[in-house]
Copies of this chain bind each other. A is one copy, B any other.
């Protein structure tokens, strides 16, 4: 059996782009995309999974590339009514997106696991590749602030990342096992590579690593682990990574990211704008690729996917 199966670990928007690129160059049987669910939350009685949805919309070609998140051709009428009814409007939900949350929430309330409902809903949208939650148990990212621990969406959306972060924790991680498909992918005989998509290491990848047994499984890996850095020109394209690293006393650099992953990482792909970091990374023993990592269109996504796979000597069609 040739070792060609790829396990991708992804957060939201940035990671979703590379996940879509991997899905474009690999057949469904050769790819498992495991998605962070640490950002998930319950809101207005709905189970909202922002990262699963970002990956789903990207693979279905339904993502809004102009706005950068959510569904294209979106409208906001349900939210306007909810606001008129006095309900919380700090988390904006589009009407098409709302259809997703309603379907997921009611199926889960009927007893389906997050894995099962994700498999079914993505299949209905015509997605042949496996999009898999990291866990069916709730493991929730929280950010420490002067006012206490904030749930991630509270910090990220309601507070717009304004509070100074003093730490990050994952509520519910004790006993949060990998989803069955995640565990199966980790244990595959034909696993050929693990690709960490360009997502925030602290907020989007660490929750996946915090799932029970995942870090140990990755430490015991027999295949290369390749990460695509989320930094471009020394900062994050999107999201609070740079501010957060600064507040946590970490330099905002590819070296800090490499150090954060430590022995888990075999290969780091950094943006050409940060080519100077390559020298700094030389002492780490990592193998490094410098390339364009900004993904504006399908061509960019597929090219970066091929770069990541070639670093693991995975052939693509």
Contact = CB atoms under 8 A, between A and B. Distances in A.
Interface in A88-109: 94-100, 102-103, 105-106, 109
Given A75-B75, A75-B95, A46 B102 contact: yes
A132 to B, nearest CB: 18
A121 interface: yes
A120 interface: yes
B121 A85 contact: yes
A80 B103 contact: no
Contacts of A110: 45
A248 interface: no
B99 A85 contact: yes
A87 interface: yes
B77 A109 contact: no
Given A79-B99, A99-B79, A125 B85 contact: yes
Given A75-B75, A86-B120, A86-B124, A81 B99 contact: yes
A158 interface: no
A217 interface: no
A97 B103 CA distance: 16
Contacts of A219: none
Given A78-B78, A99-B78, A84 B124 contact: yes
Q: Count copies of this chain in the complex.
A: 2
Given A105-B45, A106-B44, A95 B77 contact: yes
B95 A78 contact: yes
A81 B106 contact: no
A187 interface: no
Nearest to A87: B103
Contacts of A99: 77-82, 84-85, 87
B109 A45 contact: yes
Given A85-B125, A86-B120, A124-B84, A78 B96 contact: yes
A247 interface: no
Nearest to A104: B85
Contacts of A87: 99, 102-103
B77 A45 contact: no
Nearest to A73: B77
Interface of A: 44-46, 71, 73-75, 77-82, 84-87, 94-100, 102-103, 105-106, 109-110, 120-121, 124-125
22 contacts: A44-B102, A44-B103, A45-B106, A45-B109, A46-B102, A46-B106, A75-B95, A77-B94, A80-B99, A81-B96, A81-B98, A81-B100, A85-B99, A85-B100, A85-B103, A85-B121, A86-B120, A95-B95, A95-B98, A98-B98, A98-B102, A102-B102
Closest 3 CB pairs of A and B: A45-B106, A81-B99, A77-B95
Given A73-B77, A77-B96, A85-B121, 14 more contacts: A44-B103, A45-B109, A45-B110, A77-B94, A77-B99, A78-B95, A78-B102, A79-B99, A80-B96, A81-B95, A82-B103, A85-B99, A85-B124, A95-B98
